[in-house]
Amino acid sequence: MSETVRLTPKEMTDLSLKVLSHVGYGPDHARAIAELLTTCQMDDCQSHGLFRLFMCAQTMQAGKIDGHAQPQVAASDNAIVRVDAQGGMSLLAFQKGLPRLVEKTRTHGIAAMAIKRCFHFSALWPEVEALSAKGLAAMAMVPSHSWVAPAGGTRGSLGTNPLAFSWPRLGQDPFTFDFATSAFARGEIELYKRAGKRLPEGVAIDKDGNPTTDPQAALDGAMLTFGGYKGSALSIMIELLAGPLIDDLTSLESMEFAQGTGGAPYHGDIIIAFDPDQFSGARRQANDARAERLFADILDQGARLPSQRRFAARARNTTRGYAEVSAQLHRDLLALLD
């Protein structure tokens, strides 16, 4: 078994703040990022936990991000919240726009937040769960870099293009899913490379368009969408909704913007929130019961709901007061402070 280190939430946050401040992020961005990474790590979400500090450092080293940018929330009289991240990370922009999004959703029944000009590296489930914690259903989606080949293609045109959704449940963890439309998340491939493991069949092609299970060949080539043409079509939809619809970049354009410098992709983020009270015609209690009947029927078959394992990890780690991380990862993160 690999050697691990036990870290409390405070130790995770403190380590993240030290690394982020050391590489050039201002206190507001550092705090927003550190809180997100700690949240993901406490859920044993390894690919989007402390491991992502490397991408944060690489993004700063690439010289394109503003670690001190203050997001601007535009005034509007409709159901759209427009937030300009000003070339900073998306997390602070999301925090700034969230209260306005909740307010507009309660007013109109449905509202959307478009975050523009942001660098994005993080999981989307914290965004949608921030809304389901307010009793709202929500979905979120982003493009990335053009690392993913369309179905039948031989090179990257699409991003990993994750889609997340969260449904509030009274007194219980929400129904949440968050998955990339690529067959594998980019971060998972990087973790496989660090561990010296081969990839499963059918998730990537090399630079010549041939199937590969070599993580490095996959990183040099292209990833594949899940579900063939269905995943490819869904990925293209996300490119459109989180790109041209909100006047921001596609994954191809994000890759061009990076100019080979590495780090987090630069694009937009769209979050759509729904008020069940208004959509159900003031019959929320009855309709919540119908949703719960569906969940119960799924569980009764021995199936599980998305995020069940993540919620179980959260409960376990919260009870014992720490999460375990790879000792090698911990050493590598400390080296960022040198």
Q: What residues pair up with 172 in beta bridges, in sequence order?
A: none
Coil, strand or helix at 116: strand
> What is the per-residue pLDDT for 47?
87
Indicate left, alpha or beta for 307 from its phi (over 0: left) and psi (-120 to 50: alpha).
left
In this structure, are residues 226 and 183 in contact, taking their beta carbons and an 8 Å threshold? Answer: yes
> What is the per-residue pLDDT for 195?
87
In this structure, are residues 216 and 236 in contact, taking their beta carbons and an 8 Å threshold? Answer: no
Catalytic member of 16, 29, 35, 48:
48
What DSSP letter does each residue of 164-225 carry, written as one string?
EEEE--TTS--EEEEE-SBSS-HHHHHHHHHHT-PPPTTSEE-TTS-B---HHHHHHSEEEB
Polymer length of the chain: 338
Cα R_g (the chain), whole angstroms: 20
Catalytic member of 11, 21, 22, 47:
47
Catalytic-residue membership of 146 = no
Q: What residues pair up with 271 in beta bridges, in sequence order?
A: 113, 140
Low-confidence residues of the chain, pLDDT below 70?
1
> What is the per-residue pLDDT for 185?
80
Distance between CA atoms of residues 327 and 215, nearest Å: 22
In this structure, are residues 26 and 225 in contact, taking their beta carbons and an 8 Å threshold? Answer: no
Q: What is the separation, in whole angstroms, between the first and last Cα of the chain?
A: 29
Catalytic-residue membership of 47 = yes
Catalytic member of 35, 188, 239, 253:
188
Distance between CA atoms of residues 187 and 114, nearest Å: 25
> What is the per-residue pLDDT for 149?
97
